[in-house]
Structure 1
Amino acid sequence: MILASASLGHWALPGLAALVYGLVALAGKRLSARAARVSLMLAWLLHGCAIGQDLFSTPPHFGFAQTCSITVWLMMTVYLVESQVMPQMKARLALAGFGTAVLLLTLAFPGHPLPPTHSVLLPLHWALGIAAYGLFAVAVVHGWVMARSESRIRQGQEADAGVPLLKLERLTFRFVAAGFVLLTATLLVGTLFGEALYGKAHLGWRWDHKRVFALLSWLVFAVLLFGRWRFGWRGKRALRMLYAGSALLLLAYVGSRFVLEVVLRTPA
């Protein structure tokens, strides 16, 4: 009975948050702007509490699903802040759908207990990496909204972004630049302090799956930002590079953790 109650309690927060997100995603167009915003804030708060429940439980649990969940929560945080300044931004239905999906994912794949660590750098390393994930995810959402609105304009329809395209483009690349800085810091911390982080003696860079994809992602974003600065890259070329770099970054950690947890069923 006690175990059943504990299990039910663990499911309550993410399940309730997923329910509220789902209601916004399904009925968002019929809700008033105020009702939709209040519902999203409630879902965001419940979502944050669910993340805290995983990270501060005894022992804390983490995995690929939790990484996706935190990334979407950061996306929602940015959106809620942006919507105060630009209430016309239209992305809440897509974000609510993402929120529902990742919370259901965490219920299906609760992750593995985190091993104890004596390094204060490991939480910093993870925080930098997840923050980079979140910023690039926000950039992808902005880029998608921008591409959709540009396509509607070319077809002679009204743009549905709710924000001028040039402003949306500037925001997109600001998020890319901020994410690139955090990704660079993540790679540097992992390279310089790898032994202190993971307790494994090694010199320099280890060419494993996660690091190869992370480095490839870093190179794509570096080329994108240089091309944007030097040659003024924009439009489909820039968006394709943004999507490619984000996909590589997704494979770097989430992809490797998915293989370990779901395919190989190992906690390492």
Structure 2
Amino acid sequence: MIVISVLALAFYLLAIFASVHLLLSAKPVGLRSLYACVWFALIGHATALGTEVLPGTGQNLSMLNVASLVSLIISVFMTCISRRFNGWILLPVVYSFSTLLLTASALIPGRYITHLEAHPQLLLHIGLALMAYSVLMIACLFALQLACLDKQLKSRKLSQLPTMPPLMTVETRLFQLIFAGVVLLTLSIASGLFFLEDMFAQGKSHKAVLSILAWCVYVVLLWGHHTYGWRGRRVITLSLLGCFILTLAYFGSRFVKEVLLS
């Protein structure tokens, strides 16, 4: 598995180089090389992570393993939607995070054994939560890209990158991603309320409260955009705030337990 991890890292680095080359090109050249490197990297990442998460007795859902899994999901999503959503500029960032988290999960072992096979409803809840977080994290990246474009327009210093998308296109994609993420987050919270009896138990309630708070932030954002036409800085701020709250909900307590208190 070490060999597979090293190969995955090598292909990620090649994918980062290919995506940067694509950004600097006036025409979309090197797409085949980029996709070939990416899919080899993703397959290697999934294989290496699978051995870590499935050690044979239960599932090892340590914080770094979960973070690595999220980065894998985001990389798969971004690879699939990059052409349609014109998200080429975000690919080096996404693949860099996957590289770092794959390396960290391999070098810093952690154990948080669960037994999801005995609770399939919990697997559904966790799956929906990870999908929702991944989509909303991609929306956060689009919000940062929107902030960069907005700043460049106001300072009248437009980017020289030929693959930089128009501001309105990025904004449209941002709201599409937020809407999809809110749907998944709604299903995740609803499945938790329906299946988990201890969702608001002591020591776990903060996850539910913060997740619902993040949901409220995103719903207010969508409502404000639909009703009052919110855009620009307010949209960017609320998008980043919702992502920050959701990150605290998913990883805050795990970071304290597995890193600060270990």
Q: Show the counterpart of 1:21.
A: 12
CA deviation vs aligned residue, 1:31-70 (integer Å, no higher than 9, x gap): 7633333222221222222232233331231122122222
The residue type paired with residue 36 of structure 1 is L
Of stretches 26-35 and 145-154 in structure 1, the one that deviates more from structure 2 is 26-35
TM-score by length of structure 2 reads 0.84
Partner-residue secondary structure (3-state), 1:112:
coil
On the 8 A contact 1:19/1:100 being kept in 2, the answer is no
Match of 2:79 in 1: 80
Residue correspondences, number? 249
Q: Please say if 1:211 is aligned against 2:208.
A: yes
Q: Report deviation, 1:240.
A: 0.7
The residue type equivalent to 2:209 in the other structure is: V
For 1:4, the equivalent position in structure 2 comes to: none
Q: Indicate how the Cα distance of structure 1 residues 89 and 123 shifts in structure 2: closer, same or farther if over 3 A, else same.
A: same
Q: TM-score, with normalisation over the residues of structure 1?
A: 0.82
Please tell me the residue identity of whatever aligns with 2:7.
L
Which residue does 1:186 correspond to in 2?
188
Quote how far apart the aligned CAs of 1:172 are: 0.9
The CA deviation string for residues 118-148 of structure 1, in whole angstroms up to 9 with x for no partner, is: 2210110110000011100111111222222
CA contact (8 A) 1:67 1:254 kept: no
2:245 equivalent among 248, 259, 264: 248
Change in 2 beyond 3 A, CA 1:124/1:88: closer
Please say if residues 64 and 253 of structure 1, whose CA atoms lie closer than 8 Å, have aligned partners that are also in contact.
no
Q: Does 1:12 align with 2:3?
A: yes
Alpha-carbon separation, structure 1, partners of 2:18 and 2:254: 34
Instruction: Tell me what 1:43 maps to.
Output: 41
Q: How does 1:19-168 map to 2 (within 5 A)?
A: 19-25=10-16, 28-30=19-21, 33-34=30-31, 35-59=33-57, 60-85=59-84, 89-117=88-116, 118-159=118-159, 160=161, 162-168=164-170
Aligned partners of 2:91, 2:174: CA distance in 1, in Å?
A: 17
Alpha carbons 2:49, 2:69 under 8 Å: kept: yes
State percent identity of aligned pairs: 27
